[in-house]
Structure 1
Amino acid sequence: MSHFIVRRVAVLGAGVMGAQIAAYCANAGLEAVLFDLPGEHGGSVAAEQAIERLDALRPPPLATPRHARAIRAANYDDDLALLGECELVIEAIAERIDLKRALFGRIAPFLRHDAVIATNTSGLSVHELSDALPAPLRARFCGVHFFNPPRYMALIELIAGPDTEPALLDRLESWLTTRLGKSVVRARDTPNFIANRIGMFAMLAVMHHTTRLGLGFDEADALTGPAIGRPRSATFRTADVVGLDTLAHVVATLRDRLPDDPWHPWFGEPEWLTRLLARGALGAKSGEGVYRRDGQRILVLDGDDYRESAARIAPEVADILAERDPAKRLERLRACPHPQAELLWASFRDLFHYAAHHLAAIADNAREVDLAMRWGFGWAHGPFETWQAAGWRAVAEAIAADIEAARAMADVALPDWVTARDGVHETAGSWSASDRRLHPRTALTVYVRQSTLERVYGEHAPEHGDELWRNAGVRLWRRPDLDPRVGIVSFTTRAHVIGEEVLDGLAEALARAARDLDALVIWHEPPFTLGADLAQVLELCDAGEHARLERMLERFQHTSLAMRSCAVPVVAAVHGMALGGGCEFLMHAAHRVFAFESQVGLVETGVGLIPAGGGSTALAVRADRLARLTRSGDPFAFVEHAFAHVVGASVSTSAPHALELGYAREADDIVMHPRELLYVALVRARSLADAGWHAPLKPRDIVVAGREGIARLEAGLDDAGAGGRMSAHDRRVARAAAVALCGGDVAAGTAVSEDWLLAVEREQFMALLGTPATQARMRHTLDTGKPLRN
């Protein structure tokens, strides 16, 4: 198997997890065959219904509803022959080893000779499952554990079986990373692997200490969420989201499969959990669990009943958590007598103790554990990073003292390597407790594609990049190790907003690129940009500097056009939000490379303005180009489509959705792993330069929808206004958008110049900017982050 190319994936099991894995494969441009049991009267009803339900799930597993077309429903009675067309088979049925083994025996005769077979088990023995396959297939079998929901959780745990071919794991890791955009850790074949093993213990420890200290469940959640670098769902709310029945199942797996674990006495169902399950309270999916909603009120379990949730962190504990020094913070928590502080110290202590004791058994090295908790549970830092940042030796001594005093959850000494070291992470590698040495990062070439690897605390990243020039808003630099002749422009403003300093800097960078480089890439960490600098615009409004504002707007337009007309190709590398002026910039780039999770849109109407950095003009030009491909040549239908998205301030929920909205093109690249974005953009820029790219000619004789188009769009506004869906100012803003998109006060079918269109959008923008209502909207958005309807 010198190449690993997958075009079609079979997913066995159309439950929520299996269906979402199939959906994610479809998002990545793969065909998926989703198998389940046949219906009572035959057919693939279960799989068909699972596909239909995908569009209703939240958060949405599909990038757009049309991606469901790439998923084919199948059943085990009639369609097993389809397995012969699949290069990868992922089993995702119920977590019962007998059912999984029986299914493997059934599908084995139908598999391709080179197919990879993977189980999505969350903690069953890959070794025991492998035994159910014929011997020739075992070399191509492994565990591939997706985390729920698959679209949004980065982690995949890759687990070798006893006979898995090592080279296959390398190829599969590379494929999962680039093709599916996942972050992979190698886990050992132990119950619940790494993330669930550590994460579940962390939850059990918090639950135990919460009960022991008499704290409320909501109080514990206030303490164990963002306050310590963990998700907002914290502990008990996470249990509700996961499902209390699922929580009980995972705890049972620990209890049944780890009888010799020193923490085994704590692997039991808490009494409150047993009571909830007995009455069918399964958490979020049943509407009742640890938490319950009562109208607008959130209630939390308190004994046998519920009370209104009103948790807060005690002032003295909040003061400790605000401490910037991790060592002082943990030391102060340990010394503080408040029960909230004791909960945090005790939970950290027992987590560190547990992770150190089991490191040798569950993972190759400490880095795998820390990254698994970041990627699979959303922690800002893994347990070993947190420990090392807080002072390894001092914390180890405190843990040892608590073990000696019988305050820890297990009466077992820390491993000897803990006291012999001063941390587990160094630039040279991370500590392996099994072979007692530092393990460097993997040498797989797929990671060359990542512009920066995710580093753990104590591991220093190498310096990449040479700075060529900078001003207050823009940095022009390059990566000589990747391509010394392609420049990279990065905005340095807050949220990468576009103000005068960015416009000046980008103009200079374009000029330098045309003179000294072969191509230019616009890239920085997300967001791409939140658009124009509203604070700067409002400041100029308040100062009455309208002429300066109009000059700034004209420079914005000229900068957009300069990107399009630059002597070298300009590639926009987009991750996260590209809103307003940022969307206008990327619309004028020679090419776009999107991270899959990109939110793109012209949102100016939300602050009472219209796209006027060349965006309205670009949409009018596009409408004319599309109309020329039709029999009538009338651009109105295409203008109407753009108008709906501009007035509605539509924002894409993904890169494929941006294509449907008209803010991306079919030829653009979509990158599944966001850390590969810069690499792909540099490669694309190089290929454009080497192919002899040249700037397109300036658009001429643009046929517009004119007065008639404006009137037709306004008729729709009349209906919306009569229905109470638009305020008077909403209507004024929408009419301005209609005027800009239809080319102003000219007859329908008139051919105008690009300069004409730019002047129209500029005139409409400035008129709106001068209104008190628009300025109030801008101010409200800056103050609250939310739109104002006035």
Structure 2
Amino acid sequence: MTTLHVRKAAVLGAGVMGAQIAAHLANAGVQVVLFDLASTEGDRNGIVNTALAGLKKLQPAPLASKARLMHIEAANYDDHLAQLADCDLVIEAIAERMDWKHALYDKITPHLSPAAILASNTSGLSIEALGAALPAALRPRFCGIHFFNPPRYMPLVEIIATAATEAATLDSLETWLTTRLGKGVIRARDTPNFVANRVGVFSLLAVAHHTAAFGLGFDAVDALTGPAIGRPRSATYRTLDVVGLDTFAHVVRTMQRTLGDDPWHRLFDAPAWLDALIERGALGQKAKAGIFRKAGKTVEVFDPATLNYRATNAAIADEVAAILAIEPAAERFTMLRQSPHPQARFLWAIFRDLFHYCAVQLAHIADNARDVDLALRWGFGWRQGPFETWQGAGWRDIAEAVAADIAAGEALSDTPLPAWVFDGRDGVHTPEGSWSPRKGGPVPRTTLPVYRRQRFPDGLLGECLPTPARDGETLFDNAAVRLWRLPERDSRIGILSFKSKQHAIGREVVEGLRSAIACAERELDGLVLWHEAPFAVGADLQELADACSAGRFEQIEAMVSDFQAASLALKYARVPTVAAVQGLALGGGCEFAMHATARVLALEVHIGLVEAGVGLIPAGGGCTALALRAAELARHSATPTEVMPFLQNVFMAVATAKVSGSALEAQELGFMSDHDTVLFHAGELLHVALGQARALAEGGHVPPLPPRGIPVAGRNGIAALEMSLVNMRDGAMISAHDYRVARAAAVALCGGEVDAGSRVDEAWLLGVERRLFIELLKTPETQARIRHMLDTGKPLRN
């Protein structure tokens, strides 16, 4: 297979999607040229430059680091088309007009490189029809490439081929999108709205229909259709506000226009309330009002009966909440079908019609059932796709119930379920593959080499894909950690996984980590810290609070000392240690990662030393590690003993409990190293971490020697850092206790109350942070913060 190397890309169209696609390409280190129309007045690139300025303000942030903006160059179609000659990938993302797209293709094709891939980010236009306008030589390198909004965060990308698209083009593009951009790729058929939007928009319309049919408010429906049924917190109507009500209406009308033969066609109509809101300019989040709006501190919801807003006040009824808590799923669905409560009847109706639609349309919209389920997981954030939900709820019982409702005229269409639904099967996902009506049998997963990098892929119910529990050999186990390994090539590298809740670090985790390192030093060549997200949410606060309440401060100091020893064990192990970090790495989790020999970071990680939030400072070696890093940076500067320039930024990050928004920001903040590997697909973390541990071992890993003669900023540094705190305290930006905590962090980072330029060792720095930690812990303010965090999950500002 030919490897696709994208050194430079072009994005045509600087609208919301085009600009954000360009941002994510820049996140991945790709040089990007962002095109749009030339401005008739002033700056010729004014349209693009306005879009680029907007990227810095958008939330959630499309840029993993604001510094990545420099990788995007503004251009216009009149002056800069020659730059296309250097682009390996060109993504067209202009408005959904076939004639406009064809006109643009005529304009750009003479300038494209003979090897460049051209892809359209259309959300529903026919890819075959788009490709028909291209020169014959370009058609093998043309396809659809449908990103989901926002492109940085939504995993799904649908690739759509034409009859002329080369298989090699699709394979190389899928590989590149998976590893380089971190995407989950689905090969979609060239049908209106492709896979995810076809099913997802149908589901939204079905929910809207049943909202009215059962007399429910939009806020009640959002309570029912969010996390309670495995959907995102934005549920249904908040999702429409995020998407934009005008955008949603456009998609619905596209379905109405292009899907005249769909048995559910009568449903493809924008509700009257939707048109009413659009006429008012209440387009959703971008207009600060839509189905929901804020009136002061009150959240209001639109009431279609009165065409006015009212305060939100709905919740899931107790009896329905009790049903939703039932396990197994088969019993839960039986109870939903039998309950007379309107909310339960609503839930059964939306699932029934979703199952019905997916079964009837599967042969038309997708290659197999797996593609539908993964598309809805990755594109809409559902915990389970429709087919695996059906399979988990009891395939045959659900099929009979759906068929009965169709016969009774209760379903949204009278189209019968396909015959294959009743062929004796118990589902559509099996170890052999997922059902494809078009092929008349199960379709296995793709064998593209890129997926070998995902040791434990995102599996569906019934697939029986590899799991750590089933496929790993346990070497050591306690209540909080497991040391295990994979067979064959990686059998000499141990994998340490935490088992504690949220992977919090308590006494048993610390003991298990040290035991695992000792085992690795005796029997293995390396050690990887890896488990599903989060990496670790920090120290076990409950364990700390219990000891604090009992006044066992000597015991706590011993616990802190053991924590520091565990961090040092990672740093000075005789075998290489690699931290594979995803999700959250806060407090002690950050400290463990900092002390590993090397780190492999998922792009979407949130890393920080957040102890200030509970009135403490980092004391698992975190302050010491930052002081050592400042000394090392100073050593390579023009003033080798001046560490203060390298402490100021990281001090504010520690003092304010700053958490990075990405791995790139964690590097900029100084929590992680610039040399750390950043991966865009979290599923590849273990593969790469094992490879790094193996390479370090084969390269003759030698642990570092403990540093001595470390220059510290001392009293002068503390005073300099304290100046910013005085201004914040006097301006009422921080409390007196915030000041005390932040000053303690300054003392720890500056090496204690010693003369500036004093030279200390690592043990001294660890002793300073440990002493300050215990002093803060003894204060009533810090104890109150810890209790409040445990009780509410939120920081207390006292």
TM-score (norm: length of structure 1): 0.98
| Residue of structure 2 equivalent to 1:154 | 155
* 8 Å CA contact 2:12, 2:92 repeated in 1: yes
Matching of residues 725-764 of structure 1 within 5 Å: 725-764=733-772
User: 1:686 & 1:460 partners in 2: Cα distance?
Assistant: 28
| Residue of structure 1 equivalent to 2:197 | 196
| Residue of structure 1 equivalent to 2:567 | 560
2:437 aligned with 1:433: yes
| Residue of structure 2 equivalent to 1:691 | 699
* 8 Å CA contact 1:482, 1:679 repeated in 2: no
2:772 aligned with 1:772: no
The verdict on how the C-alpha distance between 1:710 and 1:280 changes in structure 2, with shifts beyond 3 A counting, is closer
User: 2:476 & 2:217 partners in 1: Cα distance?
Assistant: 55
Instruction: Tell me the alpha carbon deviations over residues 603-628 of structure 1, each in whole angstroms, 9 at most, x when there is no partner.
Output: 11111111111111111111122222
* 8 Å CA contact 2:2, 2:168 repeated in 1: no
| Residue of structure 2 equivalent to 1:238 | 239
User: 1:301 & 1:622 partners in 2: Cα distance?
Assistant: 54
| Residue of structure 2 equivalent to 1:649 | 657
Q: Per-residue deviation at 1:40?
A: 0.9
Instruction: Point out 4+ residue stretches in structure 1 off by more than 3 angstroms.
Output: none
| Residue of structure 2 equivalent to 1:670 | 678
User: 1:87 & 1:422 partners in 2: Cα distance?
Assistant: 46
User: 1:474 & 1:402 partners in 2: Cα distance?
Assistant: 49
User: 1:693 & 1:471 partners in 2: Cα distance?
Assistant: 28
2:452 to 423, 448, 454: 448
User: 2:219 & 2:411 partners in 1: Cα distance?
Assistant: 24
**What letter is aligned with 1:772?**
P
User: 2:289 & 2:593 partners in 1: Cα distance?
Assistant: 45
Q: Per-residue deviation at 1:105?
A: 1.4
User: 1:599 & 1:450 partners in 2: Cα distance?
Assistant: 22
Secondary structure of residue in 2 paired with 1:135: coil
Count of aligned pairs: 790
1:464 to 471, 488, 495: 471
| Residue of structure 1 equivalent to 2:7 | 7
| Residue of structure 1 equivalent to 2:541 | 534
Secondary structure of residue in 1 paired with 2:460: coil
2:615 aligned with 1:620: no
2:118 aligned with 1:117: yes
Instruction: Tell me the alpha carbon deviations over residues 726-773 of structure 1, each in whole angstroms, 9 at most, x when there is no partner.
Output: 222112112211211111121111111211111111111111111121
Q: Per-residue deviation at 1:481?
A: 4.4
Instruction: Tell me the alpha carbon deviations over residues 178-217 of structure 1, each in whole angstroms, 9 at most, x when there is no partner.
Output: 0110001111000000000000111111111111222222
User: 1:210 & 1:225 partners in 2: Cα distance?
Assistant: 14
| Residue of structure 2 equivalent to 1:32 | 32
Instruction: Tell me the alpha carbon deviations over residues 4-59 of structure 1, each in whole angstroms, 9 at most, x when there is no partner.
Output: 11111110100010000000011111111100000113621111111111010010
Q: Per-residue deviation at 1:776?
A: 1.1
Q: Per-residue deviation at 1:445?
A: 1.2
Matching of residues 64-75 of structure 1 within 5 Å: 64-75=65-76
The verdict on how the C-alpha distance between 1:645 and 1:88 changes in structure 2, with shifts beyond 3 A counting, is same
| Residue of structure 2 equivalent to 1:140 | 141
2:316 aligned with 1:316: no
Which stretch has the larger CA shift, 13-22 or 751-760?
Answer: 751-760
**What letter is aligned with 2:135?**
P
User: 2:372 & 2:476 partners in 1: Cα distance?
Assistant: 40
1:549 to 530, 537, 556: 556
| Residue of structure 2 equivalent to 1:180 | 181
The verdict on how the C-alpha distance between 1:247 and 1:680 changes in structure 2, with shifts beyond 3 A counting, is same
* 8 Å CA contact 2:98, 2:130 repeated in 1: yes
User: 1:695 & 1:783 partners in 2: Cα distance?
Assistant: 42
**What letter is aligned with 2:578?**
V
2:362 aligned with 1:359: yes
Unaligned runs of 5+ in 1: none
**What letter is aligned with 1:31?**
Q
**What letter is aligned with 1:440?**
P
User: 2:175 & 2:152 partners in 1: Cα distance?
Assistant: 18
**What letter is aligned with 1:673?**
H
2:687 aligned with 1:679: yes
User: 1:740 & 1:339 partners in 2: Cα distance?
Assistant: 60
User: 1:709 & 1:213 partners in 2: Cα distance?
Assistant: 66
**What letter is aligned with 1:430?**
S
Which stretch has the larger CA shift, 433-442 or 619-628?
Answer: 619-628
Q: Per-residue deviation at 1:714?
A: 2.0
User: 2:109 & 2:9 partners in 1: Cα distance?
Assistant: 16
User: 1:751 & 1:292 partners in 2: Cα distance?
Assistant: 58
User: 1:584 & 1:312 partners in 2: Cα distance?
Assistant: 41
2:384 aligned with 1:381: yes
**What letter is aligned with 1:11?**
V
The verdict on how the C-alpha distance between 1:453 and 1:482 changes in structure 2, with shifts beyond 3 A counting, is farther
User: 2:226 & 2:727 partners in 1: Cα distance?
Assistant: 46
User: 1:20 & 1:267 partners in 2: Cα distance?
Assistant: 29
Q: Per-residue deviation at 1:422?
A: 2.6
Unaligned runs of 5+ in 2: none
Q: Per-residue deviation at 1:396?
A: 1.1
**What letter is aligned with 2:428?**
V
Which stretch has the larger CA shift, 115-124 or 420-429?
Answer: 420-429
Instruction: Tell me the alpha carbon deviations over residues 490-532 of structure 1, each in whole angstroms, 9 at most, x when there is no partner.
Output: 1111111111111111111111111111111111111111111
User: 1:143 & 1:344 partners in 2: Cα distance?
Assistant: 35
**Equivalent pairs: percent with the same residue?**
58
Q: Per-residue deviation at 1:2?
A: 2.5
2:310 to 288, 307, 311: 307
**What letter is aligned with 2:166?**
E
User: 2:638 & 2:429 partners in 1: Cα distance?
Assistant: 66
User: 2:323 & 2:663 partners in 1: Cα distance?
Assistant: 42
Q: Per-residue deviation at 1:298?
A: 1.6
**What letter is aligned with 1:364?**
D
Secondary structure of residue in 2 paired with 1:692: coil
User: 1:70 & 1:220 partners in 2: Cα distance?
Assistant: 43
| Residue of structure 2 equivalent to 1:640 | 648
User: 2:288 & 2:712 partners in 1: Cα distance?
Assistant: 53
**What letter is aligned with 1:521?**
V
2:507 aligned with 1:500: yes
User: 1:298 & 1:130 partners in 2: Cα distance?
Assistant: 47
Q: Per-residue deviation at 1:553?
A: 1.1
User: 1:385 & 1:188 partners in 2: Cα distance?
Assistant: 21
Q: Per-residue deviation at 1:167?
A: 2.1
Q: Per-residue deviation at 1:156?
A: 0.6
User: 2:709 & 2:426 partners in 1: Cα distance?
Assistant: 71
User: 2:715 & 2:218 partners in 1: Cα distance?
Assistant: 62
